[in-house]
Amino acid sequence: MTTTGTVLLRSVIPARAAWSATVRAGEELTLTDLHGNQAVDFLVYEARDTAVRYSAPDTIQAGGGIFLSTGSVLMSNEHTPLMTVTADTCGRHDTVGGACSKESNTLRYGHHTWSQHACVDNFLAEGARHGLGKRDLVSNINWYMNVPVEQDGTLGIVDGLSAPGLALTLRAETDVLVLISNCPQINNPCNGFDPTAVEATITGTSR
């Protein structure tokens, strides 16, 4: 996938790790699934006022569906656009599966999983660097995660649709703060039971 502009930042996010960055209006953030089948949990806030943040209900209502791909607009809780998916070689991404936590791991997979690292831990640790706390965590996007919905409303977490090198690009519609948890989950197929690194690249005009 090609993007326009100068590379302003390129980071390889290790398996299970957290990452954050400010993406200014007009800049693009590309997330590349380096090894395939790796879920990338994602939150986005308006940089100047983090009380304005990604809203799953607003995004789903605006897009007319629960899956994201090229053309999808990430809407805020004030129904304003935060970012737009401008390119996507995977094709479908999740808005309803949520972030794994110690509590959900214990409920789903047994008490022995309590000590396992989880996306909520990543979001809290990385968010704290920007003055965010638990009350600032909202329902997140799961890039590359395959969460089909059955006719009876049941959600599944199944093998991903992604493959090595697939990527998606988001254009910032305003200055935004992005938080990422490169999902550490090992108890379901969302990461192929083997979390791997992803790459984040910000492009635009020189700052």
pLDDT at 13: 98
How many whole angstroms separate alpha carbon 197 and alpha carbon 26? Answer: 26
CB within 8 Å of 52: residues ≥ 6 apart = 45, 46, 76, 77, 78, 80
Say yes or no to pLDDT of 113 above 90.
no
How many whole angstroms separate alpha carbon 34 and alpha carbon 154? Answer: 30
Among residues 44, 37, 10, 69, the alpha carbon closest in space to that of 199 is found at 10
Say yes or no to pLDDT of 2 above 60.
no
Q: Report the C-alpha dihedral over residues 132, 43, 146, 1, rounded to 10 degrees.
A: -140
Task: Give the sheet arrangement for strand 40-46, strand by strand.
Answer: 18-23, 176-182, 40-46, 141-143, 93-94, 67-68
Query: What is the model's pTM?
Result: 0.93
pLDDT tens digit sequence for 133-189? 999 999 999 999 998 887 777 777 788 889 999 999 999 999 999 999 999 999 888
pLDDT at 93: 96
Classify residue 146 by its DSSP letter: B
pLDDT at 151: 76
pLDDT at 30: 98
CB within 8 Å of 82: residues ≥ 6 apart = 44, 45, 46, 54, 74, 75, 76, 172, 173, 174, 176
107-131: average pLDDT: 91
Residue 108 banded pLDDT, cuts 50, 70, 90: confident
pLDDT at 73: 98
Q: Name, of 33-47, 112-126, 154-168, 186-200, the range with top average pLDDT.
A: 33-47
pLDDT at 187: 85
Say yes or no to pLDDT of 3 above 70.
no
